């Protein structure tokens, strides 16, 4: 089963619209014409309109970092799937550990967002991952399994082509500590095993599972060479066009 690598940049709460436009122009210039791997940038909401214009003529895809599960209404400060769609957003990061940690998101609330995203034909990049305490207590696989099962509760098989999973060990995010190639492969294989139990082996073998957590040009090749690592969700290193594009080049070489 061949799964095209996806390299997605999560810009988090960084960059004004003008700074975002400059960054995506640089990314476009280097990797915007190739389609050996998929490239997606996920700016903050305020930069989506301008970045959307900049990627219109490019292969680079546009993602958001969050959305609300309701289509519209009295939800001050929130953004709906339809609003994202109107800006040609194709992907949406859901359940990032920072949303779980600082904004009280749970597997159950994230599940509602995932189902709303696919209803609007948005591709969810569903983030899961264990904390250091959970890893040290030998609970990694148990945590990942419950995140997958609860987050994807009632997920319809017919929409599996939209689904992307991102394995982001919380202890590796923004810390400079990366999972070893073997640790990443072990977790990804385990996640694929849970997906296989839920949706069947054929379907699970076509779902992309990205690695995230201090991925940079120096460690990308090794991680992306693992059989169950289908790309990366890049935080800090996606804020530099050079390091982000170097990771894309590593993914092209690994394909």
Which of the residues are catalytic? Answer: 96, 168
Residues 6 or more apart whose Cβ sits within 8 Å of residue 139: 130
CB 239 within 8 A of CB 15: yes
Q: How far is the CB of 162 from ligand 13P (least distance, A)?
A: 19
Query: How far apart (Å, rounded) are the C-alpha atoms in residues 196 and 204?
Result: 5
Q: Which is nearer to ligand 13P, 10 or 107 (CB)?
A: 10
Which burial class, exposed, middle or buried, applies to 189 when counting CB atoms under 10 A from its CB (0-12, 13-18, 19+)?
A: middle
Q: How far is the CB of 231 from ligand 13P (least distance, A)?
A: 12
Q: Which residue is nearest to ligand 13P (CB)?
A: 235
Out of 168, 228, 230, 246, the only residue in the binding site for ligand 13P (CB under 6 A) is: 168
What is the β-pairing status of strands 123-128 and 231-234?
Answer: unpaired
From 18-26, 50-58, 135-143, 231-239, span contacting ligand 13P (CB under 6 A): 231-239
Cα 189 to the center of its chain, rounded Å? 17
> Site residues for ligand 13P, window 209-228 (CB under 6 A)?
212-215
Out of 5, 6, 7, 10, the only residue in the binding site for ligand 13P (CB under 6 A) is: 10
Binding positions for ligand 13P, rule: CB under 6 A: 10, 96, 168, 173-174, 212-215, 233-237
């Amino acid at each position: 089963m061949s799964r095209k690598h996806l390299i997605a940049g999560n810009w988090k709460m960084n960059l004004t619209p003008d700074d975002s436009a400059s960054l995506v122009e640089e990314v476009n210039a280097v990797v915007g014409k190739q389609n050996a791997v998929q490239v997606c940038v996920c700016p903050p909401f305020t930069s989506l309109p301008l970045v959307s214009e900049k990627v219109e003529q490019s292969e680079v895809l546009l993602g958001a970092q969050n959305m609300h599960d309701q289509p519209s209404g009295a939800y001050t400060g929130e953004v709906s799937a339809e609003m994202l769609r109107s800006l040609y957003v194709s992907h949406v990061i859901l359940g990032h550990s920072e949303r779980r940690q600082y904004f009280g998101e749970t597997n159950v609330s994230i599940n509602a967002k995932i189902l709303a995203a696919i209803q609007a034909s948005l591709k969810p990049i569903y983030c899961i991952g264990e904390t250091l305490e959970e890893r040290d207590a030998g609970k990694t696989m148990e945590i990942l399994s419950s995140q997958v099962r609860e987050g994807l509760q009632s997920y319809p098989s017919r929409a599996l082509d939209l689904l992307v999973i991102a394995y982001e060990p919380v202890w590796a995010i923004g810390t400079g500590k990366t999972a070893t190639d073997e640790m990443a492969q072990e977790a990804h294989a385990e996640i694929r095993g849970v997906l296989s139990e839920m949706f069947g082996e054929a379907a699970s073998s076509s779902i992309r599972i990205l690695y995230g957590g201090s991925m940079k040009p120096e460690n990308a090749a090794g991680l992306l060479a693992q059989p169950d690592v289908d790309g990366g969700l890049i935080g800090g290193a996606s804020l530099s066009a050079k390091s982000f594009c170097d990771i894309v080049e590593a993914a092209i070489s690994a394909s």
